[in-house]
């Protein structure tokens, strides 16, 4: 799922951008992951990966599958207990790791481009 940006994308308020991020995150299937950058691009806001991270930091954890969003290369960007919880949640979904990173070759979700 890719949300097509329009000419006013840069002028849209934060809440519309965050709603687009939420829709994209909710579309990531169980057992798959996407990077912060992938989520931003699929929502129509390329180069806004930090805004995705910010949203996930403040969003209620019971409303979004936050564990399915990782750093580039499959790296868990959270720290301490939050990182351990993300790793555990992903393993419970069947996601495997190569060292400290998600095996992106097997578990990276590919968003379908809309024409």
CATH number at residue 35: 1.10.10.10
Instruction: Give the residue with greater pLDDT, 4 vs 90.
Output: 90
Report if residue 4 sits inside a domain: no
pLDDT, residue 17, reads 95
Confidence at residue 4, expressed as pLDDT on a 0 to 100 scale: 58
Residue 18 lies in a domain: yes
CA distances in angstroms from 91 to 11, 40, 65, 101, 102, listed in the order given: 39, 24, 13, 12, 10
* Interval 90-114 mean pLDDT: 94
pTM > 0.75: yes or no: yes
How far apart are alpha carbons 35 and 82 in whole angstroms?
17
Rounded CA-CA distance 21/31 in Å is 19
27 in a structural domain: yes
Residue 114 is assigned to a structural domain of this protein: no
H or E segment to which residue 97 belongs: strand 97-98
Does any domain span residue 78?
yes
Range of the domain at 25: 11-107
Q: Is residue 74 assigned to a domain?
A: yes
At 41, which helix (H) or strand (E)?
helix 36-42
Is residue 80 a part of any domain in this protein?
yes
Which tens digits make up the pLDDT trace of 45-84? 999 999 999 999 998 888 999 999 999 999 999 999 999 9
Query: Does residue 34 have a pLDDT over 50?
Result: yes
Give the count of domains, the chain: 1
Structural domain includes residue 5:
no
């Amino acid at each position: 799922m890719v949300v097509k940006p329009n000419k006013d994308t840069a002028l849209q308020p934060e809440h519309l951008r965050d709603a687009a991020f939420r829709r994209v995150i909710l579309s990531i299937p169980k057992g798959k992951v996407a990077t912060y950058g992938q989520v931003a691009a699929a929502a129509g806001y390329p180069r806004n990966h930090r805004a995705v991270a910010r949203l996930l930091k403040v969003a209620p954890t019971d409303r979004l599958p936050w564990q399915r969003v990782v750093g580039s290369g499959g790296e868990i960007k959270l720290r301490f207990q939050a990182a351990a919880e993300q790793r555990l949640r992903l393993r419970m979904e069947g996601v495997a790791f190569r060292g400290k990173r998600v095996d992106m070759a097997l578990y990276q979700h590919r968003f379908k481009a809309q024409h």
